[in-house]
Amino acid sequence: MIKDGERILFLRRSSKVGTFQGYWSAVSGFIEADETPLETAIKEVREETTIVSKPIKAGEPFKVRDKDIVWTIHPFLFEEKNCSIQIDWEHTEYKWVCVDETVSYQCVPGLDVVYKSLGL
């Protein structure tokens, strides 16, 4: 999760990704066999937004079930001020929104738990 003041970066998933096309989410990715969750988070933020940064906070990992798939989520919070965002092919658009505004969007499962685990 990336924040700028009171707002968070919201990304809309493209039709080219494997799951939840068209849903709103935060930066996400799969942990490769040779990576830690932190290394993956830093890599995915850079790849999906061009932001080069380190997280300021980590939340407790948790699991989310979607039908027969169980995802393990490792929440990290990054903070950027007035940064320039360039999204990659995984997303079609982005918005900076307040957490309480996210209820009006179709979001990936567990995103609200991420907010809470990071104290947002």
Q: What is the pLDDT of residues 67-105, one digit of tens each?
A: 888 989 999 999 998 778 999 999 999 999 999 999 999
Distance of alpha carbon 116 from alpha carbon 119, whole angstroms: 5
Say whether 112 sits in a helix, a strand or coil.
helix
- β-pair type (2-4, 76-79): parallel
For residues 78 and 51, is the Cβ–Cβ distance under 8 A? yes
Residue 119: CB atoms within 10 Å: 8
The full set of domains in the chain, from first to last, is 2-117 (3.90.79.10)
Instruction: Please report the pLDDT score of residue 84 as a whole number.
Output: 82
Facing residues of 13 across strands? 91
> pLDDT (tens digit, 9 = 90+) per residue, 35-67?
999 999 999 999 999 988 889 999 999 999 888
